[in-house]
Amino acid sequence: MELFDNLLLGLSTALQFNNLFYCLIGVVIGTAIGVLPGIGPIPTVALLLPFTFGLEPASALIMLAGIFYGAQYGGSTTAILVNVPGETSSVVTCLDGHEMAKKGRAGAALAIAAISSFFAGTVATVIIAVLSLPLAALALKFTAVEYFSLLVLGLFAAVILAHGSVSKSLAMVFLGLLIGTVGIDVNSGIARMTFGVPALADGLDFVPVAMGLFGLAEIIANLERPAVRQVVSQKLRDLMPSRADLKAAFPAMVRGTFIGSALGVLPGGGAALPPFTAYALEKKIAKDPSRFGKGAIEGVAGPEAANNAGAQTSFIPLLTLGIPANALMALMIGALMMQGIQPGPQVMTEQPELVWGVIASMWTGNLMLLIINLPLVGLWVSMLKIPYRLLFPAIVLFCCIGTYGISNSAFNVWLMLGCAVVGYFFIKVGVEPAPLLLGLVLGPQLEENFRRAMQLSDGDPSVFVTRPISAVLLGIVAIMLLAMLSPAVLKTRKEALAE
């Protein structure tokens, strides 16, 4: 069985002492930033990128991945105990999780959240392992034509699945595409929209933009809100959920895992989508939907499983195609490139110990998370007592150092600060910046592949529909568009997102 060989190879990498150590660092940092509202995994990973250069590629990726899925665990702790989502992905956990806590069942809610996340993480690891090989084999057949069609699919999915109004996310994607054209054009070597500034020659660096739009802007917005952080204080001694709890939660866990896994693979899915979808589904199929919002255990188990599964399966497009499914995966590409590894299907065959090591580390990492989250939950909660006046200046400082460190460029620091202002404006007017970021990352690839496909086919656009893989991908886009325009779907989408 090739699959088992690969998993064993991965485990032998993941279980090396130094990799276990970096995995632990990653999940601890991830839990910490997950617990703290206002700092998410994107700025954290961006911040740590320059420091991973000295590590082995596998260690670096294992640590960064740990931060990402660790944050999914930590985010739910804050959601349940404080009713503030530590991460966007744990918004829905607030609904029933905090209600459970108010009823004195905080321990059970935390335990169910952690157990669901662990279950989902384990299943998702297997799904990644099973899907990666055939997808990578398929990806080796990809040329510029197929990449273009896949990117089109990703961008449309980002718009349709985005949280909020379609027109706003469409506008943000186009803004991202537009900003993505800044810099020297690969095909002609002409500088576009650089205004003679040499620092713009290679385009706007993605990391400072991400840190400004997400990290700093979020902090500015948080400063406005009064720091209401009333922790539900109660003894968490009875962590073990009852048999009845587990019985009620298990089916929701399974459903959440599969929803999360499917939505995580989709390019452009974003962090909010899997838990929202899982919650909507649980509410829909429940015998008594009125229990939801009043402490239904399924309302914790389903979304928690979904967000963790989604976080992990979003690695599939990265590992197999070299295409980022979301903003965080784009940072992972940056981490790979810093190690001199060009992400793409060839990584799977050339560096199997890296790919499978990262996959296997997700399982060891989830096990660590279960241990550090359940018994140590009190410690994490006490972290919420750090006053913002100490925390925020420290974050701003680290963001500046991190941004500067990526390419020793002061320009990037200014770019980040500028993006912070723009990001604050976006929060004020209620637009999600995630589609913009995706447009910025995928836009240059979209253009490059389109023009290369055209150059190779002597300007004949029919290649996009005559090559089978590309035709299928574009077909899916067409179906998505048609479905979008049908009034019935529009209505359900509105309802689903209104939850």
Pairwise CA distance, residues 9 & 276, whole Å: 36
Report how far apart, in Å, the C-alpha atoms of 248 and of each of 194, 244, 251, 335, 421 are. Answer: 58, 6, 7, 41, 46
Q: Min. distance of Cβ 361 from another protein in angstroms?
A: 22
CA pair distance 229, 389, nearest whole angstrom: 14
Max distance between CA atoms of the chain, in angstroms, equals 71
Comparison of 349 and 492: residue with beta carbon closer to another protein: 349
Q: Which residue, 5 or 350, has its beta carbon nearer to another protein?
A: 350
Q: Is residue 448 within the footprint of another protein (CB under 8 A)?
A: yes
Q: How far is the CB of 61 from another protein (least distance, A)?
A: 14
Per-position x/- string for 285-324, each x denoting binding to another protein as judged by CB under 8 A, each - no binding: ----------------------------------------
Instruction: Measure Cα distances from 443 to 64, 177, 206, 268, 346 in Å.
Output: 25, 5, 12, 13, 22
Q: Residue 141 Cβ, how far from another protein at the closest point, in Å?
A: 7
Q: Please report which helix (H) or strand (E) contains residue 266, including its range.
A: none
Residue 199 near another protein by CB under 8 A: yes
Q: Look up tokens 């660096």; give the residue.
A: 205
Q: In this chain, which of 242, 455, 466, 492 binds another protein, going by CB under 8 A?
A: 455
Residue 198 found at the interface with another protein (CB under 8 A): yes
The one segment of 90-98, 183-191, 251-259, 392-400 that binds another protein by CB under 8 A: 183-191
Which residue among 1, 2, 4, 190 contacts another protein (CB under 8 A)?
190
CB atoms near residue 341 (< 10 Å):
18
Q: How far is the CB of 54 from another protein (least distance, A)?
A: 10
Closer residue to another protein in complex, CB, 184/221: 184
47, 314, 315, 387, 475 from 396: Cα distances, Å: 11, 28, 28, 15, 45
CB-CB contact of 441 with 330 (8 Å)? yes
Using the 8-state DSSP alphabet, how is residue 329 labeled?
H
Can residue 452 be called a binding residue for another protein (CB under 8 A)? yes
Nearest-approach distance from CB 49 to another protein, in angstroms: 11
What character string, x for contact with another protein (CB under 8 A) and - otherwise, covers 50-69? ---x----------------
Nearest residue (CB) to another protein, 246 versus 338? 338
CB atoms within 10 A of CB 491: 10
CA distances from 471 to 135, 220, 341, 491 (A): 17, 45, 30, 29
Least Å distance, CB 407 to another protein, is: 6
**Tokens linked to 302:** 């389903």
Name the token pair of 153: 């699919």
Cα Rg, the chain, nearest whole Å = 22
Cβ at position 494, least distance to another protein in Å: 41
CA–CA separation, 467 and 425 (whole Å): 43
Candidates 27-35, 220-228, 239-247, 336-344: pick the segment binding another protein (CB under 8 A). 336-344
Q: Is 189 in the site for another protein (CB under 8 A)?
A: yes
Minimum distance from residue 20 beta carbon to another protein (Å): 25
Q: How near is the Cβ of 193 to another protein at its closest, in Å?
A: 13
What's the closest the beta carbon of residue 313 comes to another protein, in angstroms? 25
Among 1, 167, 188, 230, binds another protein (CB under 8 A): 188
Residue 45 CB, nearest distance to another protein (Å)?
17
Q: Does 143 bind another protein (CB under 8 A)?
A: yes
Applying CB under 8 A, does 409 fall inside the site for another protein?
yes
Piece of the chain touching another protein by CB under 8 A; list 140-148, 213-221, 264-272, 283-291: 140-148
Using CB under 8 A, pick the residue from 246, 254, 338, 422 that binds another protein: 338
- Structural tokens at position 193: 């929209």
For 403-456, give the DSSP string. HHHHHT-HHHHHHHHHHHHHHHHHHHHT--SHHHHHHHHHHHHHHHHHHHHHHH
Tokens of 68: 């990402």
Q: Is 339 in the site for another protein (CB under 8 A)?
A: yes
Helices (H), strands (E): how many in the chain?
Answer: 25, 2
Q: Quote the crossing angle between the two packed helices 327-338 and 434-456, to the nearest 10°.
A: 60
Asked if 458 is part of the footprint of another protein (rule: CB under 8 A), the reply reads yes
Q: Does 142 bind another protein (CB under 8 A)?
A: yes
Q: For residues 163 and 38, what is the distance between their CA atoms, to the nearest angstrom?
A: 19
Choose the stretch contacting another protein; rule: CB under 8 A; options: 7-15, 89-97, 161-169, 186-194: 186-194
Contact indicator for 172, 444 with CB cutoff of 8 Å: no
Nearest one of 225, 294, 210 to 37, comparing CA atoms = 225
Kindly tell me the sign of the dihedral angle through the C-alpha atoms of 36, 219, 67, 274. positive
Total residues at interface with another protein (CB under 8 A): 33
Residue 341 lies near another protein (rule: CB under 8 A): yes
459 touching another protein, by CB under 8 A: no
CB-wise, 146 or 218, nearer to another protein? 146
Instruction: Catalog residues that contact another protein under the rule CB under 8 A.
Output: 53, 140-144, 184, 186-191, 198-199, 201-202, 337-342, 344, 346, 407-409, 448, 452, 455-456, 458
